[in-house]
C-alpha cells in the first residue's frame, strides 16, 4: 500500500500546494484513523510551511515540516549562498525517514518544478529518483500545458522517477472548453504514457477544507492508493 507521495510540478506556481492541501483535507476527512504527515523538504521565503501549520493538526514542529528554510524566495542554492549556508540533504533525509516511520501516510511537496535545482548539482527530479519516491506531477492548465507535461515527464523518466499520474490544475476561472483546448487529456496521455488523474478547479478560497476534500474525492485517487 502506498505510504508516501511526492508532489511535484512543471514549474513554480503550478498548483502543488493546492493539490497537497486537497489531498491532506481528503485524508483527514475520509481516513481519520490514519496519521498524516506533511513535509516541504526545503522552503525559500514565506509560504507553504505556514499554511500547513494553519490548516492542519499535524503534531509536527516547523523543522519537521520544513527541515531546511531560507529567507530569500529563490532557488535553494542561491538562497543558501545569500546566507553563507550549505544545503545539507542529510538533515532532510533524516527528517523524511523519521516521519515516514511514524506516520501512516506522508505527503512530500517539492519545491519548484522537476528541473528546479535542490543543490548546485542535484535537481528535484534527481531527488525523487534517487529517493525512490512515488510521484504525482501537477500541470497548470494554460497554453503550453501539453509541452510542459511532455518535457517534465521526459525529465522524470531520465531520472528514473516513479511517476504515478498527472493532475491538471486551473490557476484561474476556466470553461470546460478552455480546459479541453489547452490541456486535452487524451493528447497528454498519448504523448506521456502517464494517466491523467483529474483536474482541480479554480478555488476562490484555497483554505476551505471541506471544498478541498470534495474536489480531491472527484479525482481518480484509487490509482494512487491501491
Determine the pLDDT at residue 212.
Answer: 95
Extended beta strands in the chain, E state = 4-9, 36-39, 42-44, 68-70, 105-113, 135-140, 163-169, 196-200
Determine the pLDDT at residue 226.
Answer: 62
Q: What is the pLDDT of residues 71-130, one digit of tens each?
A: 898 999 999 999 999 999 999 999 999 999 999 999 999 998 999 999 999 999 999 999
CA–CA dist 96, 64 (Å, integer): 8
Q: With cut-offs at 50, 70 and 90, classify the pLDDT of residue 1.
A: low
Neighbours of 71 (CB within 10 A): 11
Q: What is the pLDDT of residues 23-66, one digit of tens each?
A: 999 999 999 898 999 999 998 887 777 788 888 888 888 899 99
107: helix, strand or coil: strand
CA–CA dist 70, 77 (Å, integer): 10
Determine the pLDDT at residue 208.
Answer: 92
Determine the pLDDT at residue 53.
Answer: 84
Q: What is the pLDDT of residues 118-168, one digit of tens each?
A: 999 999 999 999 999 999 999 999 999 999 999 999 999 999 999 999 999
Determine the pLDDT at residue 57.
Answer: 83
Predicted structure pTM score: 0.95
Q: What is the pLDDT of residues 169-224, one digit of tens each?
A: 999 999 999 999 999 999 999 999 999 999 999 998 888 999 999 999 999 988 78
CA–CA dist 74, 66 (Å, integer): 16
218: helix, strand or coil: coil
Catalytic annotation, residues: 40
Helices (H), 10-59: 16-30, 48-55
Contacts of 209 by beta carbon, 8 Å cutoff, 6+ apart: 25, 28, 29, 55
Determine the pLDDT at residue 44.
Answer: 87
Amino acid at each position: 500500500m502506498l505510504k508516501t507521495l511526492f508532489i511535484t510540478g512543471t514549474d513554480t506556481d503550478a498548483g502543488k500546494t493546492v493539490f497537497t492541501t486537497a489531498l491532506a483535507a481528503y485524508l483527514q476527512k475520509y481516513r481519520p484513523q490514519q496519521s498524516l504527515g506533511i513535509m516541504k523538504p526545503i522552503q525559500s521565503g514565506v509560504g507553504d510551511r505556514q499554511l500547513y501549520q494553519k490548516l492542519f493538526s499535524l503534531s509536527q514542529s516547523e523543522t519537521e515540516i520544513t527541515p531546511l528554510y531560507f529567507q530569500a524566495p529563490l532557488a535553494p542554492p542561491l538562497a543558501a549562498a545569500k546566507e553563507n549556508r550549505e544545503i545539507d540533504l542529510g538533515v532532510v533525509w533524516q527528517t523524511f525517514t523519521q516521519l515516514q516511520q511514524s506516520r501512516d501516510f506522508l505527503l512530500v511537496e517539492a519545491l519548484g518544478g522537476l528541473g528546479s535545482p535542490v543543490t548546485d548539482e542535484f535537481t528535484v527530479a534527481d531527488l525523487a529518483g534517487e529517493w525512490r519516491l512515488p510521484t504525482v506531477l501537477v500541470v497548470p492548465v494554460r497554453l503550453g500545458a501539453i509541452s510542459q507535461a511532455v518535457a517534465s515527464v521526459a525529465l522524470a523518466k531520465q531520472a528514473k522517477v516513479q511517476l504515478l499520474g498527472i493532475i491538471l490544475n486551473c490557476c484561474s476561472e476556466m470553461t470546460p472548453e478552455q480546459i479541453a483546448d489547452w490541456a486535452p487529456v487524451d493528447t497528454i496521455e498519448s504523448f506521456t504514457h502517464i494517466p491523467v488523474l483529474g483536474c482541480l478547479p479554480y478555488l476562490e478560497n484555497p483554505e476551505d477544507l471541506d471544498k478541498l476534500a470534495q474536489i480531491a474525492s472527484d479525482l481518480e485517487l484509487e490509482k494512487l492508493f491501491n
